[in-house]
Amino acid sequence: MGLLAVKILSLEKVKTLADQAKITREIKVMVGLKSDYIVQLFDVLQTPSNLYIIMELCGLGNLEIYRKINGGKIAEQGTVKIMKDIFAGFKELQAKNIIHRDIKPANILLGKDGKIKIADFGFARFVDPDNKDPQYFTRVGTPRYCNPQILNNFPFSDKGDVWSCGILFYELLYGNPPWDGKSIPDLTQKINNVPLGFPKSVVVSEDTKKMIGKMLQKTEQDRISWTEIFELYKIKS
């Protein structure tokens, strides 16, 4: 099995019911996930003072670090490869009816096997496929990657993760997200009112720009679905 990563949580510091529920939920989500493109959970151990979450070691850092090392941007070929790995991870999440809710560069790790791996399931949730009203979910995530439905306090679905991946896709190519703001209201106002644009300073194919445009449709019903993404990128597992 080789080297492993161990997340140590002090039970003394995890006293609130909310903290306990978050940890329990994260473990419950990760236990059932089996994919080369998701950080694997191997075991959970507990002593009177600590909880030990034993996971796959991804010692090469995360995408935020990798992007900065590469001057803030990654060429299209490399970015598409990264996104295809992330999409492959979401193939497993979709199969298990899980939404991640916090996709961002810091939560995408570089595995020693050369694959990109989705990590940090603290905000992840199981979705009831028969539930047609997803508004009951709490509104969490990192604002610059949050979909308009969360920012505008509207109902949202698993297409929220599609939006977050679209922001990530764009940021890896261009060095900055398509919208940013000094505050959440400022960011929300820009997303609501400023059209998506692509800087001419970076050469990106029309096919990739079209895909990003489909992922960043502000209305959920117009946004591309995971099933369509898997078909377009021929994601098998």
Q: Which is nearest to 202 in space by CA: 73, 104, 65, 63?
A: 73
Residues 183 and 150 placed together within one structural domain of the fold: yes
State yes or no: pLDDT of 136 exceeds 50.
no
Residue 219 to residue 153: CA distance in whole angstroms: 13
Residue 216 counted as domain residue:
yes
Residues 94 and 27 in one domain: no
Cβ(168)–Cβ(186) below 8 Å:
no
> pLDDT band at residue 156, thresholds of 50, 70 and 90?
confident
Domain that holds residue 86: 63-232
Active-site residue numbers? 102
237 within some domain: no
> Quick one: DSSP state of residue 96?
T
With respect to residue 212, please indicate whether it lies within any of the assigned structural domains. yes
For residue 42, which of 22, 56, 27 has the smallest C-alpha distance? 56
**Does any domain span residue 165?**
yes
C-alpha distance from residue 150 to each of 19, 106, 143, 195, 227 (Å):
22, 20, 9, 18, 22
Give me the pLDDT at residue 221, please: 93
Assess whether pLDDT exceeds 50 at residue 154: yes
Do 79 and 181 have their domain in common? Answer: yes
Q: Are strands 125-126 and 116-118 parallel, antiparallel or unpaired?
A: unpaired
> Is the pTM above the cut of 0.75?
yes
User: Does residue 80 sit within a domain?
Assistant: yes
Let me know whether 40 and 90 are in one domain: no
Q: What percent of the chain has pLDDT over 90?
A: 72
pLDDT at 30: 93
Residue 54 confidence (pLDDT): 95
The answer on 78 and 49 residing in a single domain is no
Q: What is the pLDDT of residues 167-201, one digit of tens each?
A: 999 999 999 999 999 999 999 999 999 999 999 99
Mean pLDDT of 83-106: 96
pLDDT-based confidence at residue 23 (cuts at 50, 70, 90): confident
Q: Tokens representing 123? A: 């905000």
Which strand (E) or helix (H) includes residue 125?
strand 125-126
Average pLDDT, the chain: 90
Q: How far apart are CA 51 and CA 62, in angstroms?
A: 24
Is residue 1's pLDDT more than 90?
Answer: no
What CATH number is associated with residue 22? 3.30.200.20
Q: Which 8-state DSSP code applies to residue 38?
A: B
Q: Which of 180, 177, 185, 142 lies closest to 161, judged by CA?
A: 142
